[in-house]
Structures are given as C-alpha cells and as structure tokens.
Amino acid sequence: YQQNPKTYTIVKQLLAEGNAGELQKYFGSRMEFGTAGLRAAMGAGISHMNDLTIIQTTQGFCRYLEKNFSDLKKRGVVIGFDARAHLCSGGSSKRFARLAANTFISQGVPVYLFSDIIPTPFVPYTVTHLKLCAGIMVTASHNPKQDNGYKVYWENGAQIISPHDKGISQAIEENQEPWPQAWDDKLIDSSPLLHDPYAMVNKEYFKDIQKQCFYRNINKETNLKFVHTSVHGVGHKFVQLAFKAFDLSPPFAVPEQKDPDPDFPTVKYPNPEEGKGVLTLSFALAEKDGARIILANDPDADRLAVAEKQESGEWKVFSGNELGALLGWWIFTCWKNNSRDTRAIKDVYMLSSTVSSKILRAIALKEGFHFEETLTGFKWMGNRAKQLMDQGKAVLFAFEEAIGYMCCPAVLDKDGVSAAVITAEMASFLATRNLSLSQQLKAVYDEYGFHITKASYFICHDPKVIQQLFDNLRNFDGKNTYPKSCGRFKVSGIRDLTTGYDSSQPDQKAILPTSKSSQMITFTFANGGVATMRTSGTEPKIKYYSELCAPPGNSDVEQLKKELDELVNALEKHFFQPEKNKLQRKTE
C-alpha cells in the first residue's frame, strides 16, 4: 500500500540497511505547526514536507476552519504555490497545493487555486479581495533549495497569530488518517468547486497598486535604468507587469536568474539579504547596460533588496532599515502632497517591528502622524494594521529590517513586487531633482536625526547555554536585577518581553505581548542607544540589533558610528561573553 513510490523507496531502503539513526530523524517527531505554518526539508517521514504530511496538515486546518466559520462552504479558501521542487522525494509546491485543494474540495469547500506560480503577497491579497475564510501559500521563501513551507492567512488577510496556531496544530493531531481519495488530486480538475483566480488577481492587484503611483509623467520620461533579479524565483513576470502599470520602461532582467529554477544554480543561498554574493550577476548586467539601480526579490517575491551605484563607481547595498527610512519618507511625502485622502494627519499610522530602526518614530514625531512598534514579524504588523484600518485609520506603511515592506493597504503582509515599483518611482522622481537614493537617505537623516544600526548574531547549539546567558542578564547584580551599565555605557531602561517587565512603564508592565517560549530583552542607553538581544525561532542563533538615534542637527556621522561600534563591542564582551559561553561568531 504505497501512495508515493519515491518516499516509499527511501524508507524501504533505510529499513533494509537497518539505519535506525536516519529513520529516527524521519519519523522521530512531527513537524511543528506554528504561527508561520510549516517550514522543513522535503523528504520522507513525518518530520518532512511530503504528500502525507501536507494531507494531514490540510485535514487539520480544514476541520479547524469548519469549527470557526459557519459559512466556510459559501466563502472558501485560496491556495497559491511557488516553483520549488524536490526530485528525489517527488515533492513540489504545485503538487502540495493540489493535494491541499483536493482535501478542501472533498469536504465541499470552494477552493481558489492559482493555476500557475505567484508571489506570496497574492494570497493575502486574494483573501481580502474575495472575502475568503483563509489562505495557504506553499513556499519556503528564501530558504535553502531542499526546503518547503506552508504559510497560513486568516480571513482578515494577515498571517495567523496565536491561538490559531495551537488550534490548528491540535486539529492536525486529531486528523492524521488520510480521508478517502486524499491522494487522488485529479478529482479536483472536474469539480465545480475549483476556481482559478489567476487572471482576475493579475488584473485587480495591478489596478490596486496604481493608487500608490503619483508621478506617471516622470515615470514615462525617466532615463533612469533599472536591473531586476528574481533569483530563480517567481518575481520576474510580476515586477515587469508592475513597471508597466506605473508607466515605467521595463527593468533589465538578469537572464541567468529570471526563470524559476528550484535548484537556484547561480547562488549559494537564494536570499538577497546576504547582500553582494547574491547580486554578482546583477552588478555585471548593470555595468553592461548602464543601469544605476538594482532591485532584487527573494524567490517568493515578498522581500526586496536595493543597490545603487555611487559616484565612486562602488555599489551600495541598502540595509532593510535604510530602505525603510527612504520608503517611509517617500510614502508620507506622497500622502501629504498628493493624497485625495481627506483623513486628518492624526488618523495616519506607520508601523515597524521592535528590532527595526526607529527612524519612522522620528519622522512621525516631527510630522505629527502616529508610529507604533509591534513584535518581530509581519504577522504582528499585518494584524495590527487591520485593527487600525477597521477603526478608520490610514496605515500608510510598515516595514521590518529583514527587507520586508508593506507599501500598499491592499496586501496586509510584506510585498516585494509593490515595493520594487514604488522604489523605482521614488528613484525616478529624485533623479529629476538630481538626487540619488543615497543622497536622499542622507537628507532624511539630516532632517529627522541620524539613525545608525548594526545587527549580527552568535551561533549556539546548546539551549542550556542560551538559557543561562539570559538568566545571567536577569540576575546580573544579585537576584532579579538587570545590568545598570554595559562597560562605560549607562543603561537607562529595560524591557524584557520574555517576562513582561518594562522599567519605563508606570506599572513596570510591558505593553507588547510577551512570550515565555522565546528570549527577548531590549536595553536603552543614556547616550540614545538601543540594543535588543533575542533568540531566533527557526535557527540556533542569538541575535542582536543595535541602533544609535541622534537628534536632528548632530551630523558627525563618523563619531556616531564610532560610538555605536564601541557600544556593540561592550554588548558582546559583557552581555554575550562569547569566550565563556563558547559562542560562534557570524562569519562574514
């Protein structure tokens, strides 16, 4: 009784070899379903992404939705997929998406299944646009090529947050026996419950993002040239269409990377956050075609990296915080100058995550709109944005330092397609003022105060050491006392989102939600510095994010950089203690 001959063969082989270690790895523990859904390698066994685990996950999700929505059979769900595939186990995003669709359709639930690969933001867009109950995107974003994932959106168009992850997880446990015909995905092709939203979304999405297009005449005339890479992912066609929607000439596409390829043959990691290594081919094409700006999407096109050629001939790759500062400035300026939005500035909001730069806070203070920070991750920003919009507020922009930007209220998640074309319009506008992106970034800092950031991480494979390190910070000078200083830097405030303590609040209780399962402490320093130390949910890392926020008028950037470097060195030496804790440094 075998449904997938490829995974069956892998397991049979291991049994024949008596390879208990590998079998333990495949079958020892089930993949955990969290707020980010699933993310694991494709392969055999319950710890991997394969036909069976997709069927089981979707059965659980379907039952959970039935419990939460009495009109599920009227409204339905949307399912999208990227171009990932894994030859030796037969798994692919498309196959997983079809099996998921089959599961819902077998229970009488309408499914809007995209007939072709799409960017991740198209799924939350479709949930909102068609008022569906939920959305699923099969993607592992910028993970290594053997991985895949299953990302879930709720009816509000944002990624799920607790307690839905627990509820779905429990429902998966309760529905592990595959339902009749669970494997027979051919059944969906003749079902009246199957709909293809591809053509409709390709029309409507590009219509909706045009609400963020303010300088069509400049776009038509600009001589600025752009290079775009989709890094072997899904982005190529959609960024071309976005440029067309804004009346911009199409960007030059990196030919070796423009077509989807699940092997990602030209890059070590398909992650534009890695900076220059992923952009090598883009730099070469830009030099050849005389383009000054490079736009790079990750493989599922929900993130965006940007590089610009400087006067010196060097390429500058903007950090997520720098591009966040530019897009925040631009989107606010466009709203102020061109908006047909009659809402007062007091109803305007921008959001960013707590480990991202506080530059939006500085702009908001000076301009009079609201800034809010959320916990790390777009699930929090998407859900908060929806709450604010339901109260009649305008949420213009949200971003996180991991190169994620939400520039358009039609998508309550990060979207690298709209971010790419809005960046291109901003660059084209600035060119008419003889300004580069780098020059404008300096102008933003001159006006609102320099915000210098530095982030890195240590690798630690021993959870006990990580626990000990954070316990030490909470009992620094005796029991329940946090550090009063870090080297020569005086600590002026502490927020601990693991325990819920915040020294700056009158009742010493943190406002943001707390989570005992992950470590996160933020230190504020008397010199205007902020540093957050946190554990990663998906990797064996202790990350830190530091920032020095100077008031406007303090323009000695080199001095500020030196001060931040010294603060970071003190943080590593006194709070991380890498030698004592045997931590491994991030290797550049």
Cβ within 8 Å of residue 551, ≥6 positions away? 449, 528
How much is the pTM? Answer: 0.95
- The rounded distance, in Å, linking the Cα atoms of 252 and 239 is 11
551 beta partners = none
CA distance 450 to 441: 10
The position carrying tokens 């790895």 is 25
Question: Are 194 and 113 in contact, with CB atoms under 8 Å apart?
Answer: yes
Angle made by CA atoms 575, 324, 509, in degrees to the nearest 5? 45
- Per-residue model confidence (pLDDT) at position 339: 67
pLDDT of residue 367: 95
Nearest to 308 by CA among 116, 438, 413: 438
pLDDT for the residue 276: 86
Q: Which of 392, 390, 395, 391 is nearest to 413 (CA)?
A: 395
SS3 assignment for 97-117: HHHHHHHHHHCCCCEEECCCC
Where do the H-state alpha helices sit in 348-400?
A: 359-367, 378-390
C-alpha 177/C-alpha 180 separation (Å) is 9
Residue given tokens 């000078």 in the structure block: 477
Q: Is 89:7 a contact under the CB 8 Å cutoff?
A: yes
Q: Please state the separation of Cα 78 from the chain's center in Å.
A: 20
Contacts 24+ apart (CB under 8 A), 474-480: 474/499, 474/521
Q: Active-site residue 536, yes or no?
A: no
Q: What is the pLDDT of residues 52-66, one digit of tens each?
A: 999 999 999 999 999
Q: Give the sheet arrangement for strand 226-229, strand by strand.
A: 252-253, 226-229, 293-297, 304-309, 315-317
User: Would you say 348 and 370 are in contact if contact means Cβ atoms under 8 Å apart?
Assistant: yes
Structural domains of the chain, with CATH: 5-195 (3.40.120.10), 206-316 (3.40.120.10), 321-448 (3.40.120.10), 450-585 (3.30.310.50)
User: Tens of pLDDT along the chain (588 residues)?
Assistant: 578 999 999 999 999 999 999 999 999 999 999 888 999 999 999 999 999 999 999 999 999 999 999 999 999 999 999 999 999 999 999 999 999 999 999 999 999 999 999 999 999 999 999 999 999 999 999 999 999 999 999 999 999 999 999 999 999 999 999 999 999 999 999 999 999 999 999 999 999 999 999 999 999 999 999 999 999 999 999 999 999 999 999 999 999 999 999 999 999 999 999 878 899 999 999 999 999 999 999 999 999 999 999 999 999 999 999 999 999 999 999 999 986 666 789 999 999 999 999 999 999 999 999 999 999 999 999 999 999 999 999 999 999 999 999 999 999 999 999 999 999 999 999 999 999 999 999 999 999 999 999 999 999 999 999 999 999 999 999 998 999 999 999 999 999 999 999 999 999 999 998 988 899 999 999 999 999 999 987 778 999 999 999 988 877 889 999 999 999 999 999 999 999 999 999 875
**Residue from 47, 141, 428, 546 carrying the catalytic annotation:** 141
Cα–Cα distance, 381 to 161 (Å, whole number)? 11
